[in-house]
């Protein structure tokens, strides 16, 4: 007997939704049924659902929700999730808390099988559906969560999608594997608060430092600090690293760390940008530490750095308040040439910055003897320092 004859492998873009709290044993069966019927009605009224030919749609009821597979582009599940949130938001306004319908949604692109059930009806199952369910399961009330493959597909389509699809943090899948989770949110849809289920919070800086010291040279590092809002002491940090690979293995990724004196619950509030020497975006592939005062994440080069490459660089840009008015730079590897600049508006109560060397053992600071250059504008000053042959373990601190 040919068991594969009835199987058909297809690729689809999945929308998986369920009703939050429907399994509450204190909820009556009548209320449960009403919530399920309300969810189904709202989905059936969404344009992203009605505009799709039925032959291009896979439907799988799940009891407390459903899974829909769109055979067309990845935008349809996203648009359906947003439209559904708007409809449920309007519906819930007129309901008491126990009658509201609140959902969580998981989106993923992947493969599934079409097969026949015992009654000869078409049924669907496979890794794409399973993965979409896992993505949804990490969510809480109001979350629209997206797998990394689908998120990158959508973010590459338009700037509008980039503004609403945000990387969150790594989550742990089965067998210890991790995945970077994305969340969709905006005005009246999604949930900006990060989901807490399955979060993988583990610093990689210890092992990364050992790897850097064996494989990487920094001919030059340029740190530029710009005070953007003196009242909030909002500072733009721009770090540019020239990098040489001294190993035989290509360098594909870079681990970044940002420590802060203010609490930032969402990494996306830092307006992070990472790009290479050709201004090509280095995409975030992992967020392994997402604490309010510390972020640690990995980006990927569009073109790996090999041993023969020269002139390769990457730049990290982010914005954060600096109420304590200082910044420290610790060197994990030797640096041949180091440049630091501080640009600030004059007449705003900001003193001329000074640079110190910090002892990592005693934490004492000694004012540097290096004389900076100063560029004066009509309403700003730029103070610059240059240093050579800084060894790993050295820490510099600028105060203003």
Q: For residue range 350-390, what is the model confidence (pLDDT) as tens digits?
A: 999 999 998 766 678 899 999 999 999 999 999 999 999 98
Domain annotation covers residue 193: no
Number of separate helices (H) and strands (E) present in the chain: 7, 23
| Mean pLDDT taken over the chain | 91
The pLDDT of residue 3 is above 50: no
Whether residue 195 is contained in a domain is answered as no
Q: What is the pTM of this model?
A: 0.83
Under 8 Å CB-to-CB from 92, ≥6 apart: which residues? 100, 101, 102
Which CB contacts under 8 angstroms, 24+ apart, belong to 80-83? 80/15, 80/43, 80/46, 80/48, 80/49, 81/15, 81/17, 81/105, 81/107, 81/144, 81/184, 81/189, 82/144, 82/184, 82/186, 82/189, 82/190, 83/46, 83/47, 83/48
> Is the domain of 266 the same as that of 386?
yes
Q: Is the dihedral of CA 170, 131, 74, 68 positive or negative?
A: negative
25 within domain boundaries:
yes
What is residue 175's predicted lDDT score, i.e. its pLDDT?
A: 67
Residues 232 and 117 in one domain: no
- The CATH number assigned to the domain holding 147 equals 3.30.70.1230
Q: How far apart are CA 10 and CA 223, in angstroms?
A: 49
Residue 58 domain flag: yes
Domain enclosing residue 318, as ranges: 202-397
Both 128 and 22 in a single domain? yes
Over residues 190-212, the pLDDT tens digits come to 999 999 888 877 777 777 777 87
Domain shared by 276 and 342, yes or no: yes
pLDDT tens digit string along 7-66? 688 899 999 999 999 988 888 999 999 999 999 999 999 999 999 998 899 999 898 999
Are 341 and 241 part of one and the same domain? yes
Q: Is the per-residue pLDDT at 4 higher than 70?
A: no
Q: In this structure, are 221 and 157 located in the same domain?
A: no
Domain boundary among 188, 216, 233: 188
Q: Are residues 323 and 371 in the same domain?
A: yes
User: Are 129 and 69 contacting, i.e. CB atoms less than 8 angstroms apart?
Assistant: yes
Structure tokens at 214: 């064996």
Residue 20 has φ and ψ, to the nearest 5°, of -70, 130
Q: Is the pLDDT of residue 78 over 70?
A: yes
Q: What is the CATH number of the domain that holds 246?
A: 2.60.40.1730
Residue 324 pLDDT level (bands cut at 50, 70, 90): very high
Domain identity same for 172 and 321: no
Query: Tokens 């819930």 sit at which residue?
Result: 92
- Confidence (pLDDT) at 162: 93
Whether 183 and 222 map to the same domain: the answer is no
C-alpha–C-alpha distance, residues 305 and 313, integer Å: 9
Assess whether 180 and 234 both reside in one domain. Answer: no
Predicted confidence (pLDDT) at residue 1 exceeds the cutoff of 50: no
Number of domains in the chain: 2
Q: Are residues 245 and 332 in the same domain?
A: yes
Both 392 and 276 in one domain: the answer is yes
- DSSP code for 99: G
Q: What pLDDT shows up at residue 202? A: 75
Averaged pLDDT for residues 59-74: 92
pLDDT tens for 207-258 read 777 787 788 889 999 999 999 999 999 999 999 999 999 999 999 999 999 9
β-strand pairing of 144-146 with 103-116:
parallel
């Amino acid at each position: 007997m040919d068991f594969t004859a009835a199987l058909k492998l297809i690729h689809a873009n999945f929308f998986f939704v369920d009703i939050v709290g429907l399994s509450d044993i204190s909820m009556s069966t009548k209320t449960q049924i009403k919530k399920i019927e309300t969810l189904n009605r709202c989905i059936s009224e969404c344009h992203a659902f009605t505009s799709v030919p039925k032959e291009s749609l896979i439907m799988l009821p799940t009891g407390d929700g459903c899974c829909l597979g769109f055979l067309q582009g990845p935008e349809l599940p996203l648009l359906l999730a947003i439209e559904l949130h708007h409809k449920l938001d309007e519906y819930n306004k007129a309901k008491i808390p126990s009658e509201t319908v609140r959902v969580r949604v998981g989106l993923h692109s992947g493969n599934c099988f079409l097969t026949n059930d015992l009654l000869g009806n078409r049924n669907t199952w496979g890794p794409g559906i399973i993965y979409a369910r896992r993505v949804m399961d990490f969510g809480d009330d109001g979350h629209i969560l997206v797998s990394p493959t689908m998120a990158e597909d959508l973010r590459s389509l338009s700037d509008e999608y980039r503004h609403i699809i945000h990387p969150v943090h790594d989550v742990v899948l089965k067998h210890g594997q991790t995945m970077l989770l994305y969340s969709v949110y905006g005005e009246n849809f999604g949930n900006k608060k990060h989901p807490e289920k399955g979060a993988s919070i583990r610093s990689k800086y210890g092992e990364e430092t050992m790897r850097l010291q064996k494989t990487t040279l920094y001919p030059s590092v340029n740190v530029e600090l710009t005070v953007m809002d003196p009242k909030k002491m909002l500072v733009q940090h721009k770090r540019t690293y020239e990098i040489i690979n001294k190993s035989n293995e290509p360098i594909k990724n870079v681990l970044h760390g940002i420590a802060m004196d203010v609490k930032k619950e969402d990494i996306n509030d830092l307006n992070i940008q990472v790009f290479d020497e050709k201004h090509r975006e280095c995409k975030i592939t992992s967020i392994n530490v997402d604490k309010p005062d510390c972020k640690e994440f990995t980006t990927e080069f569009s073109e790996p750095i090999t041993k023969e490459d020269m002139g390769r660089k990457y730049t990290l840009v982010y914005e954060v308040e600096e109420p304590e008015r200082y910044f420290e730079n610790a060197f994990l590897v030797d640096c041949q040439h180091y440049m630091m600049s501080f640009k600030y508006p004059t007449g705003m109560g900001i003193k001329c910055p000074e640079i110190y060397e910090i002892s990592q053992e005693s934490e004492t600071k000694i004012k540097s003897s290096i004389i900076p250059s100063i560029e004066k504008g009509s309403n700003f000053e730029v103070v610059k320092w240059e240093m050579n042959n800084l060894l790993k373990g050295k820490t510099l601190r600028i105060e203003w």
